[in-house]
Amino acid sequence: MSARILLVLVSCALSVITGLVIARGGAGGGKTVRQRPVIGLSMDTLKEERWQVDRDLFTEKIKAAGADVLVQSANSNDAIQLQNVESLITQKVDALVIIPHDGAAMAKAVKLAHQAGIPVLSYDRLITDCDLDLYLTFDNVKVGELQAKFLAERIPAAGKLRLIRIYGAKTDNNAKLFKQGQDNVLQPLIAAGKVEVIFEDWAEDWKPESAKKITNAAITKNGPNFDAILASNDGTAGGAIQALMEEGLAGKIIVTGQDADLAACQRIAQGTQSMTVYKPIQSIATKAAELALKLAQRKPLVAKDAIPNGQVEVPTVLLDIVSVTKENLRETVVKDGFRKEADVFQ
Ligand code: BGC
């Protein structure tokens, strides 16, 4: 923390932690601030549709602000992601934005960046066990709570809800937070006998194929005798629904998701998926561009929250989210311009 001044002020009146981050190198000190800063964006993957939108919007915002972006994607491989970061450091980026494949593995990337005096913003997913400068994300625990609340509201009046749970990638800290939010809602219902988990597993690297296999295994073990699949994102929901289709069960089983992927919005309109959680990518990409530029220009910035990452309390900016069903598809993703009505309702 020597090269950076980090103040965490606790505001008792507001019960809010306000972090003021003055980027690595101090407020302009120790580093010449470039006229046209260059931001490095290191991405885990472009597999899910949302990440392509994140990349495009982030790039657009950075360019509109008169700066440049270098983007690298690691195809869910830690060694490649580390090489990508090393290459961005060699290219002398002024700030790094990292979407880690494995939050723990990328601690090394943060260390290397800091040795080169480059501040790091962790985007959407937390990098753990390091002296991270800033974290920007959605309220991930709330994502899990919204998914589980949707199910809680659909427990049969007489009886219980029999549930298959599909978690995300074990390497992704977010997957644990989604589960934590789901547990907050489900544990009391499980204890009260209103919900029974008949099968659960983690989908490797968030792969739809892995979610399909989990669903197949659950059906092989229990037969078609279940009511809902708590899939943690739209990609895994898609894999699960594929398995349901093969069994003639699609549309009969409640399926959750997250991301408001176009394919998921279409499934919701058609009735094979029941809900998704809309996380406005426009908000996170725009905010990330703004924060990354401030880091690059060594300007002070304020983060209202703080999240522990195993080593430090990371100054954090949290963004809000919305639950989307067939009833409010138009009022949410369409109204927001995230999806076109004609695309969703084909
Ligand atoms: C993101 C989700 C995404 C998942 C798979 C999570 O960290 O928060 O939006 O669906 O990764 O890429």
pLDDT of residue 9: 35
Mean pLDDT, residues 92-101? 98
> Which atom of ligand 1 lies closest to the CA of 138?
8
CA 27 to ligand 1 centroid distance, Å = 33
Nearest to 182 by CA among 262, 94, 257, 260: 257
Instruction: State the angle between helix axes of 208-222 and 234-246 in degrees (0 to 180), rounded to the nearest 10.
Output: 40
Q: Which whole number is the average pLDDT over 279-289?
A: 97
Q: Which helix (H) or strand (E) holds 50?
A: helix 49-64
Q: How far apart are CA 338 and CA 279, in angstroms?
A: 10
**Measuring CA to CA, which residue among 130, 125, 79, 74 is closest to residue 99?**
125
Q: Does position 11 have pLDDT exceeding 50, yes or no? A: no
Mean pLDDT of 118-146: 98
- Provide the residue count of the chain: 346
- Pairing state between β 134-138 and 38-43: unpaired
Measure the CA–CA gap between 43 and 55, rounded to whole angstroms. 9
Taking each continuous run of H as one helix and of E as one strand, the counts in the chain are 10, 16
At a CB cut-off of 8 Å and minimum separation 6, what does 343 contact? 262, 265, 266
Confidence (pLDDT) at 100:
98
Percent of the chain with pLDDT over 90: 89
Q: Ligand 1: which of 49, 50, 321 to mutate, judged by most atoms within 8 Å of the beta carbon?
A: 50
What pLDDT does residue 1 have?
41
Q: Which of 334, 203, 199 is nearest to 269 (CA)?
A: 334
Q: Do 227 and 253 touch, CB atoms closer than 8 A?
A: yes
Place of tokens 């099968």: 199
Distance 259 CA to ligand 1 centre (A): 8
Indicate the helix (H) or strand (E) that contains 18.
Answer: strand 16-22
144-157 tens-digit pLDDT: 999 999 999 999 99
Q: What is the mean pLDDT of the chain?
A: 92
Q: Is the pTM of this model over 0.85?
A: yes
Structure-token pair, residue 78:
């830690």
pLDDT band at 306 (very low <50, low <70, confident <90, very high): very high
Atom in ligand 1 nearest the alpha carbon of residue 172 = 7
Calculate how far, in angstroms, residue 276's C-alpha sits from the geometric centre of ligand 1. 13
Nearest CA to ligand 1 atom 10: 233
CA 79 to centroid of ligand 1, rounded, Å: 20
Query: What is the pLDDT, as a whole number, of residue 10?
Result: 32
Spell 250-275 as b/e; 16+ CB within 10 A means b: beebbbbbbbbbbbbbbbbbeebbbb
Say if residues 136 and 120 touch (Cβ distance below 8 Å): no
Contact 326, 32 (CB under 8 A): no
Closest CA to 182 of 152, 225, 206: 152
User: How does pLDDT run across 182-237, given as a tens digit for each residue?
Assistant: 999 999 999 999 999 999 999 999 999 999 999 999 999 999 999 999 999 999 99
**pLDDT higher than threshold 60 for residue 59:** yes
Q: End-to-end alpha-carbon separation of the chain, Å? A: 53
What six digits make up the tokens of 286? 């725009």
Which helix or strand (DSSP H or E) is residue 166 part of?
strand 161-167
Residue 195, strand partner residues: 161
